Structure 1
């Protein structure tokens, strides 16, 4: 898959691990399972993101085991036996505490996770492709690492590893980027300043950077004033060729850190206007123009999906749905999403397609006219995984199926790997009382697309 297509695919599978139980997508040509492997029993009391990374001939999985302990499994492709290494950290009840994992150019494994406004938890394998050499490191740079959240690894144009995280808390935090010097085996700041600055009044919830078909790195984000999810506002955008120099969509430079007053605002959605972090996604049309998909309330107060495309005259915004229900969200903690949006992609006929999920309006795939962005057709969305994998095997009440797409790449063309496990749904990061389900089976599937 191309970089942006793979990101879109991974995001849709992420919907399945974000509280969207019973996500059904139907198509006569279902994907085929080529391989199925059990990995280990895992914690099922609440959902929290795991990580899968394929780099032939190696494959790694990071997860929380049945006792909530972070664990790494490794195998050689073609082998059915896994090797395991437990790490010295256990997850509580917070669904923010997912695991991020990456390999550097020398084959050393890097991991981070189990933190929500906590001190940085960062692990490093001192030997290439050796999970038993993984050690917790005391710091990366030693600065702004006391209240970290949302770890993410990605690759710079140079091929060097980059690590992103939020320093601070919801409503008051800054986005930080570090880069890894493989010769010195040390981290330093990629940028001399935070990427965004909420000035103590807000923080940015970013999606990206992701490499688009135009060769730029693209980022979209919303600002949020407090831990209350309803206080998201102002959809924004930035792009860069090198991750160092950033600009608006018209090519004018952006000075870092980006503040609300200096940001390029695509849609000035107010707080309590129906926009939320996590549902602002980026796709591209056939002319390689960015298209941001998100939702907000219409004039009647109903929740609607919108697409914003950068055209010659600026951002053109077009409503994609005509729903008659409202998703009233708010409060703190990890919430159950009643709406999910998928990035716009170019269809085989040249039209644009956009998948969505709605508790109030069902699931589907919208076909958009490539010129006007008007909806011309609604279809069922093609299955990303076989239907039999979408339904819980457990009979424990409230169980949901979680999936995680591969952060690497299958060496077999036309196939991809995916993790599957089952948990109870989100509970706003609070402990559950009463009986809990038994550990569920974490499985790896190789699927023909």
Structure 2
């Protein structure tokens, strides 16, 4: 597995671990879509509209828009078609002026960027050749839109390949319609020997953005190591958890190491997720091998004396021994910890497709119970027929609105011998 983020940032959405047990109240079909392998789609919800970006049954990048108070969809197809690569994630955002931005279909590829001319009218989507720096937009992967503390639109991506890439941030000016580099340097520098895989930044209590990442030496997923952390209020000035400023770009020798997990230690990118306990203290959920060689879930929490590490699962005989390149059919997904009342911490994971909730004592991080979890895909199981061998994928916006579609799992970015029938992409309403 190569993000985020949310790396594939949208990979976490595939398991949709959070949510109440009650089924959604309504669904409607959007389109028939590509299903021969998983690749993340995108959902954007505004006060006035719902927008969905996806690869249609013919693999063509498509954007559909529906009014919040209506039921008709407007569709627009652009000149981009996905191959067999599960890294070709779609990212989409709507800026303060209503302009729609879509970036997609890139795995160490040149920029593929579209935006609308006329507010949210998807029929005016057109390709933009250069975003901010043509020299840094030739080998792009992991597109992610986010917003800074003032609500301004930010875009980040990896420049370069697995094992030698850098993290680049740009900021959008809606007054001019232009993007500018947010930072004078890459956020992190692998020095040509490695690259960092990020989850976040995540905005937490007190206005801090929190960033967790692992370092990887080569395209081999087994070479992830050294869980790291940094925080910032403005996404420009970064520091360690004790307030010590970090000079950019951050290099391995200068990074704050949360847990020095070695190469081959069972830690993978994308599964290092920031969360918070009832007191607002930052946590990181991740997994690694225990002393017996089994894969276990761990939680790191920043406390006055430094980072505290707790093994929060006790699985016997479960070992996810991953390796190699390409997009993996992952056996384990984690989410960020969140409060459960005032004295408990909830860590939700999915193991071999089954959601699990790990409930911890907030004071000690000792496990209180392990219970079956809930996820949107589970709640939809009785309403959506999933073909044999397929997985039901979901993306949620946080308000209860979501999209759902079934696909075969990733195939290490290799072509299959056959092409499966398209499946239906559905809008799910609360």
* TM-score interval for Structure 1 and Structure 2 normalised by the shorter chain: over 0.9
1:202 and 1:226 in contact (8 A); partners too: yes
Q: Name the residue aligned to 1:345.
A: 338
**Superposed CA offset, 1:265-304 (max 9, x none):** 0001011111000110111112211111101111221111
Q: Which 5+ residue runs of structure 1 have no aligned equivalent?
A: 1-6, 411-415
Give the Å deviation of 1:383.
4.4
1:16 and 1:401 in contact (8 A); partners too: no
Pick the aligned partner of 2:414 from 430, 436, 441.
430
Q: Name the residue aligned to 2:393.
A: 402
- Secondary structure, aligned partner of 1:230: helix
Cα-Cα RMSD: 2.1
Q: Name the residue aligned to 2:259.
A: 267
- Secondary structure, aligned partner of 1:195: coil
Q: Name the residue aligned to 2:41.
A: 50
Q: Name the residue aligned to 1:35.
A: 26
5 Å-filtered alignment, 1:344-363, equals: 344-359=337-352, 363=355
5 Å-filtered alignment, 1:29-428, equals: 30-141=21-132, 142-324=134-316, 325-359=318-352, 363-384=355-376, 387-389=379-381, 393-395=385-387, 397-406=388-397, 410=399, 416-428=400-412
Cα distance in 2 between the residues matched to 1:431 and 1:418: 29
1:211 and 1:218 in contact (8 A); partners too: yes
Give the Å deviation of 1:244.
1.0
2:278 and 2:340 in contact (8 A); partners too: no
Cα distance in 1 between the residues matched to 2:369 and 2:206: 28
Cα distance in 1 between the residues matched to 2:96 and 2:70: 24
Q: Which 5+ residue runs of structure 2 have no aligned equivalent?
A: none
Cα distance in 2 between the residues matched to 1:110 and 1:273: 39
Q: After the TM superposition, which of the residue ranges 370-379 and 147-156 deviates more from structure 2? A: 370-379
1:14 and 1:404 in contact (8 A); partners too: no
Q: TM-score, normalised by structure 1?
A: 0.90
Cα distance in 2 between the residues matched to 1:203 and 1:82: 41
Cα distance in 2 between the residues matched to 1:427 and 1:87: 26
- Secondary structure, aligned partner of 2:25: strand
Give the Å deviation of 1:403.
0.8
2:386 and 2:392 in contact (8 A); partners too: no
Cα distance in 2 between the residues matched to 1:217 and 1:363: 28
Give the Å deviation of 1:35.
2.4
Give the Å deviation of 1:24.
9.6
Cα distance in 2 between the residues matched to 1:219 and 1:183: 29
Cα distance in 2 between the residues matched to 1:383 and 1:277: 22
Give the Å deviation of 1:390.
6.8
1:269/1:367 CA distance change after superposition, 3 Å: same
Cα distance in 2 between the residues matched to 1:240 and 1:82: 40
1:109/1:363 CA distance change after superposition, 3 Å: closer
**Superposed CA offset, 1:101-137 (max 9, x none):** 0011111011101000000111111111111111110
Count of equivalent residues = 423
1:35 and 1:445 in contact (8 A); partners too: yes
1:205 and 1:224 in contact (8 A); partners too: yes
Give the Å deviation of 1:386.
5.7
1:391 and 1:401 in contact (8 A); partners too: no
- Secondary structure, aligned partner of 2:123: helix
Cα distance in 2 between the residues matched to 1:180 and 1:333: 32
Give the Å deviation of 1:367.
1.1
**Superposed CA offset, 1:70-125 (max 9, x none):** 00000111211100000110000000101000011111011101000000111111
Q: Name the residue aligned to 1:442.
A: 425
Cα distance in 2 between the residues matched to 1:144 and 1:31: 46
Give the Å deviation of 1:394.
4.4
2:97 and 2:174 in contact (8 A); partners too: yes
